[in-house]
Amino acid sequence: MKVLHAAAEVYPLVKTGGLADVLGALPEALMAAGADVRLVLPGLPAILEGIDSPKVVCELGAAFGAGRVTLRLGRLAHNQVAAYVVDAPYLYQRPGNPYLAPDGGEWLDNLQRFGLLGWVAAHLAAGELDPDWTPDVLHAHDWHAAMACAYAACHPPTRAGVVYTIHNLAYQGLFDLGDFSLLGLPSRLLVPGGLEFHGQLSFMKAGLKYAHRITTVSPTYAAEIATDAFGCGLDGVIRARGSDVSGILNGVDGTVWNPASDRLIAAPYSDRAPDGKALCKAALQQELGLAVDASAPLFAVVSRLTSQKGLDLVLDALPALLDGAVAGGAQLAVQGNGDPALEMAFAQAAATHPSRVATRLVYDEALAHRMLAGADAMLVPSRFEPCGLTQLYALRYGTVPVVRRVGGLADTVVDADEAAVLDGRATGFMFGPATPAALAQALAQAVSAYRQPALWRRLMLRGMAQNFSWAAAAGQYMALYREISPGAEARTLSA
């Protein structure tokens, strides 16, 4: 089974969110399951630097506004997974975020930049660019690679099955209809039943309309996006695909996220020898300038600071956490950046309560490890959450998650209600409505449990015992690939 993954990010070279973690771990898990896996990635500076022994596969000449496009093949230096790189300096040789310009707005030529990525992926899938390797399955990820599905559908001789994975439906890749001609696709696609979306051109719809199968990163999110509340205007398109849409839960890369071997934390520990976590907590409190107090439950946030992540709820519930009659006496540590108003509000909270609230308004992978190891509980109060990786990492580190009952959070955390506590299934705390009062109640329950050391230890150890390895996800993807690969039952989708 030859599988080509098309994506814009891969950990540790380029990362803005969970997409990179998936591309950093899933290919190796698929290879362990017997697949021959390659990636196709844009030639961003960090990606070019992270490729070992790249060789030229072909020269593509001028395309998508670039005067020179070269397709190279090498191996990712950190794990030796084979990767094609679309080397187009005019489009990709830029600093910083892969999608955003220094002023915070999207690059004005993102349509060409990611249209080219999809175009190359589709031509590889058609067997045109590399005579030595043609995939059985093309797997495109998020809007950045979604146009590969449209290009493949417009070329009926392409035998590869096409899978499209939605990592976050809210980010759709919307562009001006007037720029459609830059993509080189037939005009028949520019209709409401194709790529047009409320007067704009939607890359996301290319994946939803023209892939043979659509996956999301958790079963609950797969059901949610078919509803008006979570469908971001595309729920009708998703409902129309019916059983072609499914959810496969993300995994955790145990070589990266493992408190027993993590060199970025103050002390190693495991579910069999958990005492090192107390050392990690004291070290984190000292690093962040919090009072070094083992009796104070330390809650953490490691997240982009956005409304989607429910961080405004945390601010509104903060008085109850710090001073409430039940949940009082806790500490809060926040790591992340994003919405300037949220950044300012958390910074003000830290200034007001310097020994009890700390903020680090940066993306810092090493600090994220220390936060996970040092905190007692992890807050993930998202308004919607396709999968969520933070709560999976938290469980692995014995950091009890407090989450909203949505998406992958609902699929991975077992609420510590009375029944789950009694039979030993509980791993965290859940709340329903996206309100400060509901979050405050969950926080109070968490603090109450923390005041009961035997109960808290059971929650920690049960969480650490959970198995969210990529092997299970890889098995589900392999089964899906077999359904749509050449030789499987005839497929009917076309453009």
**What is the number of structural domains in the chain?**
2
Q: Say what the pLDDT of residue 104 is.
A: 85
The H-or-E segment that residue 309 falls in is none
Q: Say what the pLDDT of residue 492 is.
A: 61
Q: Does any domain span residue 270?
A: no
Q: Which one, of 224, 238, 139, lies nearest residue 411 by Cα?
A: 224
Q: Say what the pLDDT of residue 358 is.
A: 98
Q: Would you call 84 helix, strand, or coil by DSSP?
A: strand
Mean per-residue pLDDT, 197-225: 98
Mean per-residue pLDDT, 104-121: 96
Q: Does any domain span residue 259?
A: no
Same domain, 138 and 209: yes
Mean per-residue pLDDT, 246-270: 96
Same domain, 247 and 329: no
Q: Say what the pLDDT of residue 103 is.
A: 87
Same domain, 348 and 380: yes
Q: Say what the pLDDT of residue 323 is.
A: 81
Contact 285, 293 (CB under 8 A): yes
- Pseudo-torsion of CA 220, 226, 230, 235, nearest 10°? 160
Q: Does any domain span residue 268?
A: no
How many residues can be counted in the chain? 495
Same domain, 459 and 476: no
Same domain, 216 and 332: no
Q: Does any domain span residue 257?
A: no
Same domain, 321 and 370: yes
Same domain, 417 and 325: yes
Q: Say what the pLDDT of residue 486 is.
A: 87
Q: Residue 81's domain spans which residues?
A: 2-251+471-484
SS3 percent helix, strand, coil of the chain, rounded to 5, is 40, 20, 40
Q: Does any domain span residue 266?
A: no
Q: Say what the pLDDT of residue 17 is.
A: 87
Mean per-residue pLDDT, 186-205: 96
pLDDT over 80 at 184, yes or no: yes
Q: Does any domain span residue 204?
A: yes
Same domain, 356 and 461: yes
Terminal alpha carbon distance of the chain: 25
Contact 224, 384 (CB under 8 A): yes
Q: Say what the pLDDT of residue 491 is.
A: 60
- The reported pTM is 0.93
CATH number at residue 246: 3.40.50.2000
- Pseudo-torsion of CA 435, 436, 442, 444, nearest 10°? -160
Q: Does any domain span residue 68?
A: yes
Same domain, 218 and 341: no
Q: Say what the pLDDT of residue 326 is.
A: 58
- For the stretch 405-425, pLDDT in tens is 999 999 999 999 999 999 999
- For the stretch 162-176, pLDDT in tens is 999 999 999 999 999
Q: Does any domain span residue 489?
A: no
DSSP letter at 451 equals: T
Mean per-residue pLDDT, 104-124: 97
Contact 349, 321 (CB under 8 A): no
How far apart are the C-alpha atoms of 141 and 215, rounded to whole Å?
Answer: 10
393 to 258, 341, 390, 442: CA distances (angstroms): 9, 27, 5, 20
Mean pLDDT of the chain: 95
pLDDT over 70 at 29, yes or no: yes
Q: 488: pLDDT confidence band, cut at 50, 70 and 90?
A: low
Same domain, 294 and 310: yes
Same domain, 139 and 187: yes
- For the stretch 42-94, pLDDT in tens is 999 999 999 999 999 999 999 999 999 999 999 999 999 999 999 999 999 99
Same domain, 131 and 28: yes
Give CA 259 to chain center in angstroms. Answer: 21
